[in-house]
């Protein structure tokens, strides 16, 4: 049996017993982080209060003053409320949720991969897993996953997957036959959106998070094809606002997660006195719904994953120290990438007198086993790299430095040419 199908079968059985199940990726680091979050006492106390559910790693929103990745509790009642809200959205398009086929290329330990299975289960619809390898080979996908005639077909993608499928005519033709293609996990690049409109693809850009139990806004394919550039209006049961000078996206709904786990203790999701939760995104509300402006917390979106450079810098610095490498400073910056949305570039300063090229090679080997979205795509040796006198990184300054280097400005290039490593 497909491991993901086995996973969901075991999950359904655990829910029938009233259990809360922790779901993490197969990497040892992910499994260890989940175990630390659950703590030695297990989930019995949570089950008595909340009933069955799951614990999933968030995309890393820092809403409410937290830091980085959280292990969120998603009670089954909240999951079902999310599925019901999506079903009502489909009905508003004139589609019968029970008649749909829900295709799913995303892993169950992500909220965007768990919900397609749960929606289909709740609606009485068909659910089919897609091998992630097919998403990188459009011709193979079209052959391995022929679309049924006479039934609406739904699909959730991240922009990187959409980019890859549209790169070949077979993939684009396959996508054109779908009824709804939800695109989330990262902003949809305008160029990719224009190409999708020109191809007549029924995209439905959407917005959501683990903390909101999947998407809370969605734009209809018809409005997308009409040229609307938005994540759409709130789904039923969701209130949305953008507040403060930062225009922070804030949400209020009955299915926000209760909180996250730290060493077995539930830390409540921070909300204000009226129940509003502040996300880590900036946006504005217009006549067509939510327009996202970017992250408030310094994170980047890469291939549908939310990546926190500061955490990776610390991880790399610790690994370099353990290996006794002559690393003086490292800074990871996001740059725009057509396929991934954004990718990381590493600025590195070696200790005085050290072989910078050898240091870079060792650092690249350290990162070789990291997740693709976390691995820097390029490395630049930068002998001037240093934080401010107060010990803080002026990321804006170094981002401008990198942009100038990319543009070939002489005042930067003459200092960096001999240190540039690609």
Q: What DSSP string runs through 393-416?
A: --HHHHHHHHHHHHHT-HHHHHHH
CATH of domain 3-295: 3.40.50.12780
pLDDT range class, residue 288, cuts 50, 70, 90: very high
φ, ψ dihedrals at 245, nearest 5°: -65, -25
Q: Range with the lowest mean pLDDT among 213-222, 250-259, 390-399?
A: 390-399
The pLDDT score that the predictor gives to residue 42 is: 85
Q: Is the pLDDT of residue 1 over 70?
A: no
Q: Which residues neighbour 60 within 8 Å (Cβ) at sequence distance 6 or greater?
A: 68, 69, 70, 280, 299, 306, 307, 308
The helix/strand/coil state of 65 is coil
89 vs 5: which has the higher pLDDT: 89
The pLDDT score that the predictor gives to residue 5 is: 56
Q: Which tens digits make up the pLDDT trace of 95-137?
A: 999 999 999 999 899 999 999 999 999 999 999 999 988 988 8
Q: Range with the lowest mean pLDDT among 255-269, 296-310, 405-419?
A: 405-419
The pLDDT score that the predictor gives to residue 304 is: 85
Determine if residue 182 is left, alpha or beta; phi over 0 gives left, psi from -120 to 50 gives alpha, anything else beta.
beta
Q: How many helices (H) and strands (E) in the chain? A: 14, 21
Helix ranges restricted to H, 248-369 = 309-322, 356-367
Determine if residue 144 is left, alpha or beta; phi over 0 gives left, psi from -120 to 50 gives alpha, anything else beta.
alpha
Q: Which residues neighbour 372 within 8 Å (Cβ) at sequence distance 6 or greater?
A: 303
Average pLDDT over residues 143-147: 92
Q: Which tens digits make up the pLDDT trace of 311-366?
A: 899 889 889 999 999 999 999 999 999 899 999 999 999 999 999 999 999 999 99
Average pLDDT over residues 373-377: 94
CA 351 to chain centre: 35
pLDDT range class, residue 153, cuts 50, 70, 90: very high
Q: Where do the CATH 3.30.300.30 domains begin and end in the chain?
A: 300-421
Taking alpha carbons only, the member of 141, 163, 164 closest to residue 153 is: 141
CATH class of 300-421: alpha beta
The pLDDT score that the predictor gives to residue 187 is: 79
Q: Is the pLDDT of residue 417 over 50?
A: no
CA distances from 143 to 137, 156, 160, 201, 206 (A): 10, 19, 21, 19, 28
Encode burial over 184-221: b for 16+ CB neighbours within 10 A, e otherwise: bbbbbbeebbeebbeeebbbbbbbbbbbbbbbbbbbbb
Q: Which tens digits make up the pLDDT trace of 34-56?
A: 999 999 988 999 999 999 999 99
28 vs 234: which has the higher pLDDT: 234
Q: Is the pLDDT of residue 421 over 60?
A: no
Contact 363, 325 (CB under 8 A): yes
Contact 350, 325 (CB under 8 A): no
CB atoms within 10 A of CB 25: 16
Q: Which residues neighbour 262 within 8 Å (Cβ) at sequence distance 6 or greater?
A: 37, 71
Average pLDDT over residues 217-228: 98
pLDDT range class, residue 66, cuts 50, 70, 90: very low
Q: Where do the CATH 3.40.50.12780 domains begin and end in the chain?
A: 3-295
DSSP character at residue 199: T
390 vs 314: which has the higher pLDDT: 314
Token pair belonging to 64: 């409410």
Average pLDDT over residues 184-209: 92
Taking alpha carbons only, the member of 367, 17, 57 closest to residue 209 is: 57
Q: Range with the lowest mean pLDDT among 140-144, 393-397, 414-418?
A: 414-418
Q: Is the pTM of this model over 0.85?
A: no
Q: Range with the lowest mean pLDDT among 62-76, 109-123, 253-267, 317-331?
A: 62-76
């Amino acid at each position: 049996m497909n491991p993901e199908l086995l996973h969901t079968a075991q999950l359904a059985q655990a829910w029938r017993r009233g259990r809360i199940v922790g779901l993490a990726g197969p990497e040892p680091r992910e499994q260890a982080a989940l175990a630390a979050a659950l703590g030695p006492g297990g989930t019995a106390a949570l089950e008595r209060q909340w009933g069955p559910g799951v614990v999933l790693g968030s995309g890393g929103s820092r809403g409410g003053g937290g830091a980085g990745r959280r292990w969120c509790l998603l009670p089954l009642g909240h999951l079902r409320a999310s599925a019901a809200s999506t079903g009502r959205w489909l009905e508003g398009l004139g589609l019968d949720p029970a008649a749909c086929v829900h295709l799913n290329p995303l892993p169950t330990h992500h909220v965007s991969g768990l919900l397609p299975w749960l929606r289909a289960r709740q609606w009485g619809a068909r659910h089919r897993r897609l091998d992630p390898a097919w998403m990188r080979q459009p011709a193979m996908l079209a052959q391995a996953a022929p679309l049924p005639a006479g039934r609406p077909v739904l699909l959730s993608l991240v922009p990187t997957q959409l980019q890859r499928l549209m790169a070949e005519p077979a993939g684009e033709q396959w996508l054109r036959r779908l009824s709804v293609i939800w695109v989330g996990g990262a902003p949809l690049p305008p160029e990719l959106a224009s190409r999708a409109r020109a191809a007549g693809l029924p995209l439905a850009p959407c917005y959501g998070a683990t903390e909101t139990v999947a998407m809370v806004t969605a734009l209809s394919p018809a409005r997308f094809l009409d040229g609307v550039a938005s994540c759409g209006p709130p789904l039923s049961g969701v209130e949305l606002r953008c507040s403060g000078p930062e225009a922070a996206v804030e949400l209020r709904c009955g299915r926000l997660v209760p909180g996250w786990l730290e060493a077995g203790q539930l830390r409540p999701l921070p909300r204000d006195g009226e129940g509003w939760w502040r996300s880590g995104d900036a946006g504005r509300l217009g006549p067509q719904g939510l327009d996202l402006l970017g992250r408030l917390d310094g994170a980047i979106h890469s291939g549908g994953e939310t990546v926190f450079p500061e955490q990776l810098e610390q991880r790399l610095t610790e690994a370099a120290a353990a290996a006794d490498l002559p690393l003086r400073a490292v800074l990871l910056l996001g740059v725009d990438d057509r396929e991934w949305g954004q990718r990381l570039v590493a600025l590195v300063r070696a200790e005085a007198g050290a072989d910078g090229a050898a240091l870079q090679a060792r650092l690249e080997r350290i990162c070789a086993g990291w997740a693709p979205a976390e691995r820097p795509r390029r490395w630049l040796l930068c002998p001037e790299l240093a934080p401010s006198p107060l010990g803080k990184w002026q990321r804006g300054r170094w981002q401008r430095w990198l942009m100038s280097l990319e543009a070939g400005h002489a005042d930067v290039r003459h200092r960096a040419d001999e240190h540039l490593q690609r």
